[in-house]
């Protein structure tokens, strides 16, 4: 039986092996980084949807017609949201911008109000209930996303393209 010669055992990686491993790690990192790409359009749509639902929840249970004494605050904007880019961006109490929209917001008749039952009204509480779905169109880098607010229920959804 022959003795095993331990002097021929490699004690380190060769340069070619290290280069090959680095190339594989680079390829895997490139593929993985593309999956973490920020989708500004989808983020903006989710943010606006949350703001619409917040306005609806603020309006639910808030009686706009009989609030206060002698009609005071009868036309309060509690439960209303202006659907323009500038008004939808989130600002902290000190005025600093917390969330800035990347997409352009396109909405005809840009104010939406929710009454005490959560029903949507066009422009103010004096206006009629929404009779057709209100569509908010977001545009960013040639892509479009739409948010629909349904009449009667006021349910807001992001339309799948």
Give the tens place of pLDDT for each residue, 1-45: 566 666 666 667 788 989 999 999 999 998 888 777 778 899 999
For 3, the token pair is 């003795």
Q: How far apart are CA 87 and CA 23, in angstroms?
A: 48
Q: What is the DSSP letter of 109?
A: S
pTM > 0.75: no
Q: Where are the domains of the chain?
A: 40-159
**Ramachandran bin of 101, using left for φ above 0, alpha for ψ from -120 to 50, beta for the remaining angles:** beta
Give the tens place of pLDDT for each residue, 60-101: 877 655 544 444 444 557 788 888 888 888 877 777 878 888
């Amino acid at each position: 039986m022959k003795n095993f010669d331990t002097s021929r055992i490699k004690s380190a990686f060769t340069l070619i092996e290290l280069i090959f491993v680095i190339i594989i790690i680079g390829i895997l990192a490139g593929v993985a980084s593309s999956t973490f790409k920020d989708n500004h359009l989808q983020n903006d749509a989710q943010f606006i949807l949350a703001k619409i639902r917040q306005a609806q929840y603020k309006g639910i249970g808030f009686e706009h017609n009989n609030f206060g004494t002698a009609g005071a605050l009868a036309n309060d904007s509690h439960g209303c949201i202006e659907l323009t880019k500038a008004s939808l961006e989130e600002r902290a109490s000190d005025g600093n911008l917390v969330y800035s929209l990347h997409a352009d917001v396109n909405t005809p008749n840009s104010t939406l109000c929710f009454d005490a039952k959560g029903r949507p009204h066009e422009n103010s509480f004096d206006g009629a209930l929404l009779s057709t779905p209100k569509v908010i169109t977001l545009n960013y880098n040639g892509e479009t996303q739409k948010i629909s607010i349904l009449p009667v229920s006021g349910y807001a959804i992001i339309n799948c393209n």
